Structure 1
Amino acid sequence: MKENSQPFTVETERLRLLPLTLAQLSLIETDFVALEQCLGLTPASFELNAPPAFMEEFFEAIRSHTVPSVAANPDDYRWFTQWMLIHKTENCLAGGMGMSGLPDAAGEVSIGYFINRTFENKGLASEALAAILQFIFVHPSVSTAVAYTASIDNASVTVLQKNGFNSGGTVEGGYKWFKNKI
């Protein structure tokens, strides 16, 4: 993993993970093409292998949680914002990733991610998750990364298992997964 200073990014072999600033974050729902232009990306169609309600929930979370949290925590915005997964070779958006914020009192940080259908089954989600875990586990108060899945048998579970997550059992609406800091 390599971190650059201006702007902050985390890089992997095939991806550049870029945490969106408050100004960039505001473009996600209102003008996605402007966001791609602002980031210097090649425009690409973006399609998720998810129920239609996912995007409604995603935009609602951006409005009600992410934007206010980034605004309230400018020095720690990377823990609250949406990270864009940019495919280096194609210079386009391959997916996104986010965290729940700074670690809670138990040292837990929840994470979530999605991949553009065009880039599914290429190992990019696993690669991005490995990189963001390195970023998360540098923080001295983090003890555990947590993720949730709707089922026990889907591609997201495979991504989590490849990155050393263990099952935390069932929770309302799905399954909990965790990885402890080593």
Structure 2
Amino acid sequence: MIFGRKGKTESSPPVYRPRVIESERLRLVAADRTLVEADLAQNDALGALLGAAVPENWPPELYDREAMRYALNHLEDAGERGWSFWYLLVIADGRDELVGICGFKGRPDPLGSVEIGYSMLRQYRNQGYASEAVDRLIRWAFNHHHVVEVSAETFPHLKPSIRVMQKNGFIHTGPGSERGVVRYAVSRPDRR
């Protein structure tokens, strides 16, 4: 509270506090309207909100302006935060750096399955960041009692993507939802 004249109190402006998960080397920040609007504006606001440097080649492949607008439309409900994508920041001395995205393609379906995806900036690939982020988000998802499976889809020739899934316990379950795509999934530990 801020005290104004004659003992009246005024409310302080709200402090921006996004949903955050931390791992050994990463800080994952759940997308919300404020962050996605800043991202779409393509200015310094995203970096300021995240407290991170945003590389010149942002955004990563597979995360384009269309995907951002799609996410923005699904972030109206505060309950959706976390079930969209998460910004991945490398925790560094001084200032963190934005390195990629990882997240879900919406809330779990009625059977308790949710699909995950990820995309890293080229200069941060093959350093284990995607695997670390997927691990943290799988744990986050399985903390929701109704989630029984996390799935992912990719093309068979994208070996680094498949390696991320395999490192996190995903097994090949067959063809994906689109032609030429394969599906992998990991079940909740108490359901295996």
TM-score tier by shorter-chain length is 0.7 to 0.9
Q: How does 1:5-154 map to 2 (within 5 A)?
A: 6-46=17-57, 50=61, 54-55=62-63, 58-63=64-69, 65-71=70-76, 73-80=77-84, 82-89=85-92, 91-154=96-159
Q: How does 1:152-171 map to 2 (within 5 A)?
A: 152-171=157-176
User: How far does residue 49 in structure 1 lie from its aligned partner after superposition?
Assistant: 7.6
Quickly say closer, same or farther: Cα 1:86–1:70, change in 2 above 3 A: same
Bigger Rg over Cα: 2
User: How far does residue 47 in structure 1 lie from its aligned partner after superposition?
Assistant: 5.8
Which aligned runs of 4 or more in structure 1 are off by greater than 6 angstroms?
none
Quickly say closer, same or farther: Cα 1:22–1:48, change in 2 above 3 A: closer
User: Which blocks of at least 5 consecutive residues in structure 1 are unaligned?
Assistant: 1-5
User: Which blocks of at least 5 consecutive residues in structure 2 are unaligned?
Assistant: 1-16
For residues 100 and 32 of structure 1, the distance between their equivalents in structure 2, rounded to whole angstroms, comes to 26
Please give the secondary structure, in 2, of the residue aligned with 1:157. helix
Amino acid at match of 2:91: K
For residues 137 and 149 of structure 1, the distance between their equivalents in structure 2, rounded to whole angstroms, comes to 22
**1:180 maps to 2:183:** no
User: How far does residue 153 in structure 1 lie from its aligned partner after superposition?
Assistant: 4.5
Q: 8 Å contact 2:83–2:107 — kept in the other structure?
A: yes
For residues 49 and 70 of structure 1, the distance between their equivalents in structure 2, rounded to whole angstroms, comes to 21
Q: 8 Å contact 2:152–2:183 — kept in the other structure?
A: yes
For residues 13 and 136 of structure 1, the distance between their equivalents in structure 2, rounded to whole angstroms, comes to 18
Q: 8 Å contact 1:47–1:117 — kept in the other structure?
A: no
Amino acid at match of 1:60: E
Moved more, 115-124 or 30-39: 30-39
Q: Deviations over 1:26-59 (max 9, x none)?
A: 1223225321122121242336785xxx45xx32
Identity of paired residues, percent? 29
Identify, as 1 or 2, the structure richer in helix.
Answer: 1
Paired positions, count: 169
For residues 46 and 179 of structure 1, the distance between their equivalents in structure 2, rounded to whole angstroms, comes to 32
- Normalized against structure 2, the TM-score is what? 0.80
User: How far does residue 142 in structure 1 lie from its aligned partner after superposition?
Assistant: 0.4
User: How far does residue 24 in structure 1 lie from its aligned partner after superposition?
Assistant: 1.1
- Normalized against structure 1, the TM-score is what? 0.84
For residues 49 and 93 of structure 1, the distance between their equivalents in structure 2, rounded to whole angstroms, comes to 10
For residues 153 and 115 of structure 1, the distance between their equivalents in structure 2, rounded to whole angstroms, comes to 13
Quickly say closer, same or farther: Cα 1:37–1:61, change in 2 above 3 A: same
